[in-house]
Amino acid sequence: MKDFVAELKWRGMIQDIMPDTDEHLMEGMRAAYVGIDPTADSLHIGHLVSVMMLKHFQECGHKPYALIGGATGMIGDPSGKSAERNLLDEPTLRHNQDSIKSQLSRFLDFDSDAPNAAELVNNYDWMKEFSFLDFIRDVGKHITVNYMMAKDSVKKRLSAESSDGMSFTEFTYQLVQGYDFLHLYREGNCTLQMGGSDQWGNITTGTELIRRIGGGKAYALTCPLITKADGTKFGKTEGGNIWLDAERTSPYQFYQYWLNTSDVDAEKYIKIFTFIGQEEIEKLIAEHQEAPHMRTLQKRLAEEITTMVHSADDLIKAKKASAILFGKSTTEDLAELDERTLLQVFEGVPQTEIRKTQLDATENVTDLLSEVTNGIVFPSKGEARRMIKGGGVSINKVKLNSENDPVNFDLLQDKYLLAQKGKKNYYLIKVV
């Protein structure tokens, strides 16, 4: 067995851990689970720490369970929340579960015959037939209200000035999650639950239920909540969450998020969000510190995680898209961009709209880049002529040779022209 706890420790992925957990895991193959909130049909990068923990767990020879919180998703977890969440119906939960499993399959081996093949379970499957009377008789009587009130997640909600209190539904959340642990302990010999540090109270309620009802011993391990050095929230941009679903967050946006991390964050994230070994990471950190402007850590981090979440092909496309703005690229690179990525790459650059009939009637590039585009690229024909003569203007990455060059460029995505003035000034012309 590989030492799972030691692996997480050097990566900075342990916040709290019950005594003797490491010895327990080194005795043989064990089973552990992480609960995943199914309120969306995609994971976002805030989920990735827990997913990476499950991946390391499987790599170390143990059996991972990914638990979709279908039942708990119908309640809402008060941990770290200031208000009660919206509840979901069963068809939505099932759809979300299928989508999440597809994403998890990029990390975990669900399909092999290995004894430690991963399993995906949904707590709705064992909670849906559990009557209220049975639950309070068989589970509720074993945990006191005093014990539940002592949990930080409960105390913070009840003491918060902005809180309207906590419903009974949310208050019982830790009992339902605790019962999940007991169920997996009984059915799958699962002896460890992992999660974010805000889940410590819920997880230890499970270990307590296993002790009091199951007559056995179980363990708990949490990872730190990921933060950013500048104080802003990890995994968020102005557009919202960074999702693993390419339809929600394109591979280009995903790649850019990691590429733009600070030096301090990149040094932390490359340990948590990649499977690069300790010796190689130490070399990368040393190399980065010698020449920070080369952004060695950010580039390697972005490459590794984009390939892992999307694909090697998506990484190539994301790098080509990035090079269009920040490096050398060709007309072919530009033409390969789909419309969504094209608009993301050039988000914020000046844009204008012209009619196709105007374009067809335009005699030369000088007229196009001044009068026809309403002066957005050049305010006058004279200025356009001077800069074109100096070799500083291109359309669709093709350098203009003469002020009288004809307007015979292929439209990008059948509707766009990209004008470039100098090295950094871009203008997007939409033809309708």
Is residue 342 classed exposed, middle or buried when 0-12, 13-18 and 19+ CB atoms within 10 A define those classes?
buried
**DSSP for 113-172?**
--TT--EEEETHHHHTT--HHHHHHHTGGGS-HHHHHTSHHHHHHHH-TT-----HHHHT
Rounded Cα–Cα distance for residues 54 and 195 (Å)? 10
DSSP-derived letter for residue 394 is E
Taking the C-alpha atoms of residue 418 and residue 125, their distance in angstroms, rounded to an integer, is: 54
Residue 387 CA to residue 383 CA, distance in Å, equals 6
Largest interatomic CA distance in the chain: 87
Dihedral sign (CA 142, 144, 148, 150): negative
Element (H, E) at 176: helix 173-188
Both tokens of 357, joined, read 């009939």
Radius of gyration of the chain (CA): 27
> What does 282-346 look like in DSSP terms, one character per residue?
HHHHHHHHH-GGG-HHHHHHHHHHHHHHT-HHHHHHHHHHHHHHHS---HHHHHTS-HHHHHHHT
DSSP label at 47? G
> How far is the C-alpha of 350 from the C-alpha of 200, rounded, in Å?
49
In the chain, the amino acid numbered 121 is V
- Residues carrying an active site annotation: 39, 44, 47, 81, 85, 177, 198, 233, 236-237
Question: How far does Cα 390 stand from its chain's mean position?
Answer: 45
Alpha-carbon distance of 115 to 101, in angstroms, equals 19
Among the listed residues 59, 77, 162, the one whose alpha carbon sits nearest the alpha carbon of residue 123? 77
354 sits in which H/E element: strand 351-354
